[in-house]
């Protein structure tokens, strides 16, 4: 569905509708296999979660003296997992081969904006590093606050030698973007369960050369005269994918533009938006939680996606519903904060291992466990990398690689093996719980106002596609017939 709000200056805005989201369900090809406890944790002294790669302007993994770099939100591992967001700091890791990783330490030594720093992206351009991040909280406040703005650090240096990578300052920190109240809701306007203006992601359009910064936000959806209480409540769920442009291509100069896509009355959080371009199509991915869906529609914690023929849209939900990848029903919070990146003719997806040994209805129940058990059930490291085949409007998981496996396109992958993917009864079937409740409960949670599922919904057989892993061939062959992050 596409609308043209008056405030968007006549540009069509894509919308994830309730009818589309009503068809979300676990199917063979969108459920990751159980991961279990990490076989090895390269950094046991740390909680590691949201992670992003250092990329060049073309979106390729940057090479810095023979190393690839990753940036992660981290906290000391002796902290309770649920408390880590309040002390998050950005740390750098590096690897010569995408298998064995070393710790370069915290990126900033004071001076960063906000009371703590949340996820973003990193650009390596002409030997310079630009680290985009979320400045969370007001650093001048005496108490913890949750205001958010989009910031950048630049001016630091990165050095590579036989001993590894060294990142050093001084860094210059600048606020780049704050919500305008017209296209993007301010904290004062927010009526929802949470507020978002975060997760900046640098993207240069290969077709036009235009430079963009995507981010997560909320589209203003105030109460309207004549709305019944149920409709007014649903409009509190107003997540959107925002965008800013740099007319000159300057990584430090940005102007807000209208959202690329919104999910008003569907979902409150479209986290960590990012784009992978394949076969001339633009694949827009976001992460979301079960508890941020509006009443009457729901989906599991998962990676959701949309596809368009241009960055501006119009976007269609992948697989009819938007769900691309999720966790197995016996571990519904196993992984989160998925980030997709192109590898030759396939897409790989990295994430972090969340609560890999917890089958409860809601993460709220974690706090009731003994502290030692909370730590034991939490991964706090990267999860196995997912292999994703993409073909037009459809996607299909094709197995996994090891945790912390981040190959570059010139590094071949082993043959795909999707035999470990859940099937049949292990999928758990259609999800019917109320998203706003944050848990899995039996039975329907309410009617969907927009009517039945879209005609474009892919049925069980056609959704599977089968075939090879190539972006161009993911849907060929015989059918099997069968997601701030917490």
pLDDT on residue 352? 98
Question: CA dihedral in degrees (166, 276, 117, 83; nearest 10)?
Answer: -110
Pick out the chain residues at pLDDT < 70: 1-11, 429-486
Contact in structure between 145 and 138 (CB atoms under 8 Å): yes
Contact in structure between 349 and 482 (CB atoms under 8 Å): no
Query: Which residues are marked as active site?
Result: 50, 271
CA distance linking residue 266 with residue 20, whole number of Å? 9
Phi, psi of 111 (to 5 degrees): 95, -15
Phi, psi of 290 (to 5 degrees): -60, -35
pLDDT on residue 173? 98
The model's pTM is 0.89
CATH code, 16-32+41-464: 2.115.10.20
Task: Select from 298, 290, 301, 360 the least CA-distant residue to 326.
Answer: 301
């Amino acid at each position: 569905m596409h609308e043209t709000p008056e405030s968007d200056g006549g540009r069509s805005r894509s919308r994830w509708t309730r009818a589309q989201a009503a068809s979300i369900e676990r199917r063979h090809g969108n459920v990751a296999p159980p991961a279990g406890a990490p076989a090895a944790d390269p950094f046991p002294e740390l909680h590691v979660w949201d992670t992003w790669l250092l990329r060049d302007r073309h979106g390729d993994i940057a090479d810095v003296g023979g190393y690839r770099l990753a940036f992660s939100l981290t906290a000391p591992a002796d902290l309770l997992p649920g408390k880590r967001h309040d002390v998050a700091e950005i740390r750098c890791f590096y690897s010569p081969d995408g298998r064995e990783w070393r710790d370069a330490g915290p990126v900033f030594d004071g001076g960063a904006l906000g009371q703590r720093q949340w996820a973003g992206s990193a650009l390596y351009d002409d030997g310079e590093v630009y680290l985009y991040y979320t400045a969370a909280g007001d650093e001048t406040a005496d108490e913890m606050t949750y205001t958010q703005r989009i910031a950048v650090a630049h001016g630091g240096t990165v050095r590579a030698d036989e001993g590894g990578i060294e990142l050093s300052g001084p860094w210059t920190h600048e606020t780049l973007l704050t919500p305008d109240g017209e296209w993007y809701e301010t904290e004062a306007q927010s009526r929802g369960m949470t507020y978002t203006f975060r997760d900046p992601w640098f993207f240069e359009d290969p077709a036009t050369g235009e430079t963009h910064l995507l981010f997560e936000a909320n589209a203003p959806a105030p109460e309207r005269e004549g709305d019944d209480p149920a409709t007014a409540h649903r409009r509190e769920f107003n997540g959107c994918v925002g965008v800013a442009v740099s007319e000159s291509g300057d990584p430090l100069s940005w102007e807000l533009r209208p959202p690329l896509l919104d999910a008003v009355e569907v979902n409150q959080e479209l986290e960590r938006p990012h784009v992978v371009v394949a076969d001339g199509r633009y694949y827009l991915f976001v992460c979301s939680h079960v508890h941020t869906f509006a009443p009457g529609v729901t989906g599991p914690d998962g990676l959701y996606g949309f596809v368009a023929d241009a960055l501006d849209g119009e976007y269609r939900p992948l697989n009819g519903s938007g769900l691309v990848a999720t966790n197995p029903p016996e571990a519904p919070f196993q992984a989160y904060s998925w980030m997709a990146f192109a590898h030759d003719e396939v897409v790989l997806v990295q994430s972090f291992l969340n609560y890999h040994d917890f089958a409860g209805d809601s993460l709220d129940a974690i706090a009731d466990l003994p502290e030692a058990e909370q730590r034991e059930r939490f991964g706090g490291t990267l999860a196995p990398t997912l292999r994703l085949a993409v073909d037009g409007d459809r996607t299909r998981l094709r197995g996994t690689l090891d945790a912390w496996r981040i190959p570059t396109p010139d590094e071949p992958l082993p043959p795909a093996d999707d035999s470990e993917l859940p099937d049949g009864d292990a999928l758990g079937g259609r999800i019917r719980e109320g998203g706003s409740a944050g848990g899995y409960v039996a039975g329907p949670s309410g009617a969907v106002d927009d009517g039945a599922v879209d005609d474009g919904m892919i049925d069980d057989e056609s959704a599977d596609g089968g075939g090879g892993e190539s972006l161009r061939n993911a849907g060929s062959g015989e059918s099997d017939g069968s997601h701030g992050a917490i």
